[in-house]
Chain A
Amino acid sequence: MKVVVDMNKCQDHGQCVFAAPDVFRFDDAGHLAHVPDPDDALRDEVEEAADVCPLQAIRIED
């Protein structure tokens, strides 16, 4: 599974960080960082993170 975040859309709502803390986090500078190729076992978490992004900035590619 590949996770792509459109950083032009991202507005730092952080909802993905709550939904999938294993994949998304804020770095020390407060910018969103993510694991681009998480384990497939995390698929539900990532799907949820994509759902709760108010900007629809998260894409999942297989």
Chain B
Amino acid sequence: MSTNVVVVGASMAGLRAAEQLRAAGWAGPITLVGEEPHMPYNRPPLSKEVLAGKAPFASLAFRPRAGVADVEWRLGTRAVRADLDRRVVELDDGTVLPYGGLVVATGMRPRRLRCPGPLTGRHTLRTLADAQGLRESLTRPGARVVVVGAGFIGCEVAATAVALGAAEVTVVDPLPLPMVGPLGELLARALLRRHEQRGVRFALGTGVTGFEGAEHVTGVRLDDGTVAAADVVVEAVGSVANTEWLDGNGLDLTDGVLTDGQLRVGGRHDVIAVGDVARFPNARYDGVPRRVEHWSIPTDTAKHAARVLAAHLTGTDAGLAPFAPLPTFWSDQHDFRLQSFGAPVLGKEDVRVLEGDPDGDVLAGYHRGGRLVGVVALGGRAAAAAAARHRAELLKQPALTA
């Protein structure tokens, strides 16, 4: 049996997994396979500082821990297939890599809109290359920008486009409020007001039926037949998990790769999943497997899963309780920050203002069964600090059962 650990996906989750394998005592060979040509880099600045031209691309590279100095990097190379029974991964250059342990860290790619019209002028944002292309378009004088999707990335891009001096910025979404999925109504309304005050327009409660223009997009056609003029379109309509390379192994790949409570895949002890692509149950909450696309998750999952895999490879027992991270995310938009701890999404039906008020700095508490399950701050530094004060309380809560 091969003693090599193969990590597929050489971004944040893949890097952290390799580092944590070393920290957990795995001294054997590790190969990291990554489709992008770059060493792992930080994505959040792509929609903020990098897009705004405030951070050079070179500043994004992650600081790797010393322990991974000897791993083999296969960048610019894609895994095309895996056979989990034979324990091999096949790469697009024909290489077949046998493994003793496999780490699934292939993350997400942007979902695309499937409607008629030209493709040129339409952007998505996930990679460095995407950010470079989008920045070029957004900085053309007089750019009229339509962002489709009022989620996390859509709202951030709209804010950055305003800062870059775009002539018009419109956000389109079939939902009635921006970020209402993760935030619920109270904060989504507060968010909408803030964006509008800073010059972003919204077309809410409406979908996109097509794009106007011959070769280059000139407008976005909405449900009601009206057309929003556009030189630049950003499609920020969610993401799709990169799991096709795992097809044919009888795995549940309906939304990412399903894991057990120890982040193991398909009932096997030699395959783990980390980062955005992992759909895992969180023992802190209701045990329902979910993917969590927050920056904190690659590090949290890598730490736990690497211990599980290292113990298996060395024939020891990791002796770990089920994975139970406290999720956290932030989002910088215009001059304010959203800062979240816990799982507000589980308490959206019962949101209470804990501090401040929705027109200024505000801290909202999200409750389920009367209990606090998450907090979200909207505002400046003081609001974020107020959210952080509730973190210990959220950590102390007993497990929430279904």
A residues lining the B interface (CB < 8 Å)? 12-15, 18, 26, 30, 44, 47, 50-52, 54, 56, 59
Interface residues on B, range: 20 to 34
Contact of B388 among A14, A50, A51 (CB under 8 A): A14
Given contacts A13-B330, A18-B391, contact A26 B385 (CB under 8 A): yes
Chain B, residues 7-40, CB within 8 Å of chain A (1/0): the string is 0000000001001000100000000000000000
Q: Indicate if the CB atoms of B296 and A30 lie closer than 8 Å.
A: no
Residues of chain A within 8 A of B62, CB atoms compared: 56
Q: How distant is the Cα of A59 from the Cα of B384 in the complex, in angstroms? A: 24
B381 touches A30 (CB 8 A): yes
Min Cβ gap A45→B in Å is 12
The SS class assigned to the B binding surface is: helix
Least CB separation from B49: chain A residue: A55
Residue on B with the closest CB to A58?
B63
* CB under 8 Å from chain A, chain B span 58-116: 59-60, 62-63, 65
Which residue on chain B has the smallest CB distance to residue A44?
A: B23
A59→B63 CA distance, assembly (Å): 8
Instruction: Say yes or no for B44: interface residue by CB 8 A criterion.
Output: yes
Check if B209 is an interface residue, CB within 8 A of chain A. Answer: no
Q: What distance in Å separates the Cβ of B11 from its nearest Cβ neighbour in chain A?
A: 14
Tell me if B137 is interfacial: C-beta within 8 Å of chain A.
Answer: no
**Alpha-carbon separation in the docked complex, A47 to B23 (Å):** 11
* A52 CA to B19 CA, complexed, in Å: 13
Nearest residue, chain A, Cβ from B19: A51
**Complex formed: what's the CA distance from A13 to B44 in Å?**
13
B359-384 with Cβ < 8 A to chain A: 381-382, 384
Measured between beta carbons, the chain B residues less than 8 angstroms from A26 are 385
Chain B positions within 8 Å of A15 at CB level: 296, 328
Distance in angstroms from A21 CB to nearest chain B CB is 11
Tell whether B4 is near chain A: CB-to-CB under 8 Å. Answer: no
Q: Which residue of B lies closest to A14 (CB)?
A: B388
Q: Please state if B381 and A12 are interface contacts (CB–CB under 8 Å).
A: yes
Within the assembled complex, what's the spacing in Å between the Cα atoms of A37 and B296?
A: 26
B187 to chain A, nearest CB (A): 19
**Bound CA–CA A30/B299 (angstroms):** 26
**Contact A54 to B330, CB < 8 A, known contacts A14-B385, A14-B388:** yes
* A13, B328: Cα distance in complex, Å: 11
Instruction: Scan B331-344; emit 1 where CB is below 8 A from any A CB, else 0.
Output: 00000000000000
Interface contact B296-A52, CB-CB below 8 Å: yes
20 inter-chain pairs at a CB distance below 8 angstroms, sorted by A residue, are A12-B384, A12-B385, A13-B330, A13-B384, A14-B385, A14-B388, A15-B328, A30-B381, A47-B23, A47-B65, A50-B63, A51-B16, A51-B19, A51-B65, A51-B299, A52-B296, A52-B299, A54-B42, A56-B60, A56-B62
